[in-house]
Chains A and B, each alone.
Chain A
């Protein structure tokens, strides 16, 4: 009985410990990392985020004539590395964590980029915005003939050029 009275005084002093979560705002600290948001204006589609992403929640790939940056929230571990490495600062970490849903498809965010086609083989190989960004960053010093050539064709082109210079064999 005495013990019970002791508890009563403590509970009156301390009040209720239970959080009324659905009816009050959740406890979110300033350091909290939730789902990431990709700014489609700033994103150039370089794929730096997809290489650093530990669970490969961010993937980039060709879909026909488009390059699509896919973000699967369901696999994201909310480490924020993508926001750290993004050269364009296009990725921001939001405080959103209430992501529960019925459909797995609802957990996908996609950014669709238009592509540049290789002027030799005609394959889409990179995004228009990425080529523009490269041009801007190195003050238009890239030879015009190399900028819209895919890596495979660029290798062959460079080999031909060296061959024609050293051996004197014509490139064709």
Chain B
């Protein structure tokens, strides 16, 4: 696990930490990432793909990625599901329990934009809505990567982790084209 100490400055506030220490932290993070799998009301499609990534077939342990049982040991949360109303409290607690830097990988259509449950009464509709609640609760998340897919392919998860660690530049770009007469 990557323990991040503040280097003898325990009175550093959280936002100061994010501004000053984050670069240093990411150079340390290049070593190895421990992940915690957080299901927030997913249909289990993405969860099966997460397990698939951890099997010897894709074997992410060759990159040092390891599944841990507690958010207190983790650097990265694999968030699947559209965040149902019932899970909000537990999700906030799990994210809060993670040591800084907090990294989140929002997986699947549900995690990114709510999927087909984007506007139901029982769900929040993905990570962007949860981010506001986390902000209100005073929980800062240092970096988020959105990985769409329904369910996400194991290759897409590996690609997402590579993007998160800054090994790759994201391919997706916002495109706005005008409809040409033809």
Give residues in A with beta carbon < 8 Å to B: 17-19, 21-22, 26-27, 40-45, 54-57, 72-78, 96-114, 127-129
Contacts and interface: CB of A to CB of B under 8 A. Distances in A.
Contacts of B181: 128-129
Given A40-B179, A74-B146, A100-B163, A106 B156 contact: no
B114 to A, nearest CB: 6
A45 B164 CA distance: 36
Given A18-B58, A129-B181, A99 B172 contact: yes
Interface in B136-173: 143-150, 153-156, 158-160, 162-164, 170-173
29 contacts: A18-B59, A18-B62, A26-B153, A26-B155, A41-B179, A55-B113, A74-B109, A74-B148, A75-B114, A75-B115, A75-B118, A100-B147, A100-B156, A100-B160, A100-B172, A101-B146, A101-B171, A101-B172, A102-B170, A106-B174, A109-B175, A110-B174, A110-B176, A111-B178, A111-B179, A112-B177, A113-B178, A114-B179, A127-B179
A105 B109 contact: no
A131 to B, nearest CB: 12
Interface in B115-131: 115-116, 118, 126, 128
Given A17-B57, A107-B172, A110-B175, A75 B163 contact: no
3 A-B pairs with the lowest CB-CB distances in the bound complex, closest first: A75-B113, A74-B112, A100-B160
A78 B170 CA distance: 20
A73 B148 CA distance: 7
A97 B150 CA distance: 10
Contacts of A41: 179-180, 182
Contacts, number: 141
Given A55-B109, A74-B113, A42 B182 contact: yes
Contacts of A19: 57-58
B147 A40 contact: no
Contacts of B109: 55, 74-77
Interface of B: 56-59, 62, 109, 112-116, 118, 126, 128, 143-150, 153-156, 158-160, 162-164, 170-182
Contacts of A54: 116
B174 A108 contact: yes
A102 B162 CA distance: 12
A104 B128 contact: yes
B182 A106 contact: no
B148 A102 contact: no
Interface hub of A27, A73, A75 (most chain B Cβ within 10 A) = A75
Nearest to B125: A75
Contacts of A74: 109, 112-113, 126, 146, 148
A104 B146 contact: yes
Contacts of A100: 145-148, 156, 159-160, 163-164, 170, 172
B182 A102 contact: no
A114 to B, nearest CB: 8
B22 to A, nearest CB: 14
Given A77-B109, A111-B177, 18 more contacts: A17-B57, A18-B56, A26-B155, A40-B179, A45-B179, A55-B109, A55-B114, A74-B109, A98-B159, A98-B171, A99-B156, A100-B156, A100-B172, A101-B170, A101-B172, A108-B175, A110-B176, A113-B178
